[in-house]
Chain A
Amino acid sequence: MHLDHAQHGPAAVSADAARPDGTRRALRIGLGGPVGSGKTATVAALCRTLRDQLSIAVVTNDIYTREDAAFLLRHAVLPPERIQAVETGACPHTAIRDDISANLEAVEDLEDTVGPLDLILVESGGDNLTATFSKGLVDAQIFVIDVAGGDDIPRKGGPGVTTSDLLVINKTDLAPYVGSDLDRMAQDAAQQRGPLPVAFTSLTSEEGVGPVADWVRGQLAAWTA
Chain B
Amino acid sequence: MSRAALLVLADGRFPAGGHAHSGGAEPAVKEGRIRNAEDLAEFCRGRLHTTGLTAAALAAAAAHGHDPLALDEAADARTPSPALRTVARKLGRQLMRAARATWPSPELAALARARPRGAHQPVVLGLTARAAGLGPEDAAHCVAYETVSGPATAVVRLLSLDPFEATAVLARLAPELDRIAEQATAAAHGTIDALPAACAPLLDITAEAHAAWPVRLFAS
Footprint of B on A, CB under 8 Å? 2, 4-11, 13-14, 63-66, 87-91, 94-95, 98-102, 104-105
Other CB < 8 Å A-B pairs besides A89-B20, A91-B20, A102-B94, 5 of them? Answer: A13-B101, A63-B217, A87-B219, A98-B13, A101-B17
* B94 engages A65 (CB within 8 Å): no
**A105 to B94, Cβ gap below 8 A?**
yes
Is residue B116 contacting chain A, with contact meaning CB distance below 8 A?
Answer: yes
Q: B214: which A residues are within 8 A, CB to CB?
A: 65-66
Complex formed: what's the CA distance from A182 to B216 in Å?
Answer: 38
Residues of A within 8 A of B94 (CB): 101-102, 105
| B residues near A11, Cβ cutoff 8 Å | 93, 96-97, 112, 116
Note all chain A residues with C-beta closer than 8 A to B218.
Answer: 87, 89-90
**Chain B's interface: helix, strand, loop or mixed, by majority?**
helix
CB < 8 Å neighbour of B116 from A6, A64, A90, A104:
A6
- List residues of chain B with CB under 8 Å of any chain A CB: 13, 15-22, 76, 89-90, 93-98, 100-101, 104, 109, 112-113, 115-117, 154, 157, 214-219
A10 to B16, CA, bound (A): 16
> Which residues of chain B come closer than 8 Å to A63, judged between CB atoms?
217
Contact A95 B101 (CB under 8 A): no
Number of A-B contacts (CB under 8 A): 84
Q: Is the CB of A101 within 8 A of B116?
A: no
Complex alpha-carbon distance, A98 and B97, angstroms: 14
Chain B residues, Cβ within 8 Å of A6: 116-117
Assembled-state Cα–Cα distance A94/B153 (Å): 14
B116 contacts A89, C-beta separation under 8 Å: no
Q: Which A residues touch B100, using CB under 8 A?
A: 13
Q: List 8 A-B contacts (CB under 8 A).
A: A5-B117, A9-B113, A11-B93, A89-B19, A90-B218, A98-B13, A101-B94, A105-B97
> What is the minimal beta-carbon distance from A171 to any residue of chain B, in angstroms?
27
Whether A102 touches B17, Cβ cut-off 8 Å, given contacts A10-B113, A64-B217, A90-B157, is: yes
Rank and list the top 4 A-B pairs by shortest CB-CB distance, nearest first: A89-B20, A101-B94, A87-B219, A99-B15
With A5-B116, A8-B116, A87-B20 as contacts: A100 and B215 at CB distance below 8 Å:
no
Establish whether residues A89 and B97, one from each chain, have CB atoms under 8 Å apart when the complex forms: no
Chain B residue numbers with a CB within 8 Å of A10 are: 109, 112-113, 116
Task: Please tell me if the beta carbons of B215 and A7 are within 8 angstroms of each other in the complex.
Answer: no
- Complex CA gap A108/B109 in Å reads 18
Q: Which listed residue, A5, A9, A88, touches B20 by the CB 8 Å rule?
A: A88
Contacts of B93 in A (CB 8 A): 11, 105
Nearest CB in chain B: distance from A147 CB, A: 30
A4→B116 contact, CB < 8 A? no
Q: Are B116 and A9 in contact (CB under 8 A)?
A: yes
A8–B109 CA distance with the chains assembled, in angstroms: 14
B22 cross-chain contacts in A, Cβ below 8 A: 89
Find out whether the CB atom of B76 lies under 8 angstroms from the CB atom of A2.
yes
